[in-house]
Amino acid sequence: MHASQSSGRTFLTWLAFAGLLALGGVVFVQLGVLTLFIEQDSSRLSLVILTGLALATAHAGYCAYRLDRESAAASALAAGRSPESLATESIALDYRDLVRAVERNKDRHSESSNLGAYLEQRVHAGHASGWFVADLMIKLGLLGTVVGFIFMLNSVAQMETTDLNAAKLMLTQMSSGMRIALFTTLAGLSSGLILGAQYQLLDRSADRLFRQIIRLFDTGSAPENEPSGQA
């Protein structure tokens, strides 16, 4: 029962999160903050980071939908129904076929020990890329901080006189470098946190799917008389 109750919940949770994110994006544009990012960050790193956030969020939504579809297929298999109508390629079906193949070759202990690692890799497919992008967002923000400070130090190094106009120009260049540092750091850290929250949700859902499939075959609840991939 627990598996069927969790089916479909991950994508709905992601939709709620994405809705809040979209609402924040609308407010972000309406208040002119996006224009401020475009005008004040001459390095354009913050725009690269925000674009990466949008693309990675879409990928997280696809992963959430895939996990719910796989959970529904595993629930159908546990209930004795054919899950092919729910998922064209079901992880639960593939795992069942592998378990049966190992049971027919009981001398292959290494294959049996690798089944858990194979299943874990399948249910977490694509999540490592998402975590990499989240980490990349933070690092790009820190890179923008370094670039901004380089701009600031370069403006100080180029000042050769104590003329008032030259000092004003130096302060203008220093403020430009500071804006680059602050805007890219803000974009990188916030994007990394937002993506991290999404992929934490996906990892927890993948762990539930892993336990669901393992429990399905450990308890022997999968119908043995159902042919694989046949009507």
Model confidence at 59, pLDDT cuts 50, 70, 90, reads very high
Confidence (pLDDT) at 81? 65
Query: Is 46 inside a domain boundary?
Result: yes
Confidence (pLDDT) at 118? 86
Q: Is the CB of residue 127 less than 8 Å from the CB of residue 199?
A: yes
Model confidence at 218, pLDDT cuts 50, 70, 90, reads low
Confidence (pLDDT) at 217? 77
pLDDT mean over 126-155: 89
Model confidence at 123, pLDDT cuts 50, 70, 90, reads very high
Model confidence at 82, pLDDT cuts 50, 70, 90, reads low
Q: Is the CB of residue 148 less than 8 Å from the CB of residue 181?
A: yes
32-40 own/partner pairs: CB under 8 Å, 24+ apart: 36/183, 37/183, 37/187, 40/179, 40/180, 40/183
Residues in the chain: 231
Residue 147 has pLDDT above 90, yes or no: no
Confidence (pLDDT) at 56? 95
> Quick one: tokens of 52?
């990466």
Model confidence at 106, pLDDT cuts 50, 70, 90, reads low
Residue 194 φ/ψ, nearest 5 degrees = -65, -45
Average pLDDT, the chain: 80
Tell the residue number behind the tokens 């005008």, with chain if given. Answer: 39
Query: Is 175 inside a domain boundary?
Result: yes
Q: Considering the chain, what percentage of its residues have pLDDT values greater than 90?
A: 35
Residue 109 φ/ψ, nearest 5 degrees = -70, -30
Indicate the residue type of 113: S
pLDDT mean over 140-159: 80
Domain count of the fold of the chain: 1
Q: 28-32, 40-44, 51-55 — which is least confidently predicted?
A: 40-44
What is the DSSP-derived secondary structure letter of residue 88?
S
Residue 122 φ/ψ, nearest 5 degrees = -70, -45
Q: Report d(CA 29, CA 47) in Å as an integer.
A: 13
Query: Is 74 inside a domain boundary?
Result: yes
> Quick one: tokens of 19?
């809705």
Q: Is the CB of residue 209 less than 8 Å from the CB of residue 14?
A: no
What is the DSSP-derived secondary structure letter of residue 222?
S
Q: Which domain holds residue 15?
A: 2-218
Confidence (pLDDT) at 101? 79
Residue 21 or residue 222, greater confidence: 21
> What Å distances lie between residue 53 and 39, 63, 138, 196, 199, CA to CA?
20, 15, 11, 11, 12
Render pLDDT for 150-204 as a digit per residue (tens, 0 to 9): 888 776 666 655 666 666 666 776 777 788 888 899 899 999 999 999 999 999 9
Q: Report d(CA 77, CA 59) in Å as an integer.
A: 27
Indicate the residue type of 154: N
Query: Is 191 inside a domain boundary?
Result: yes
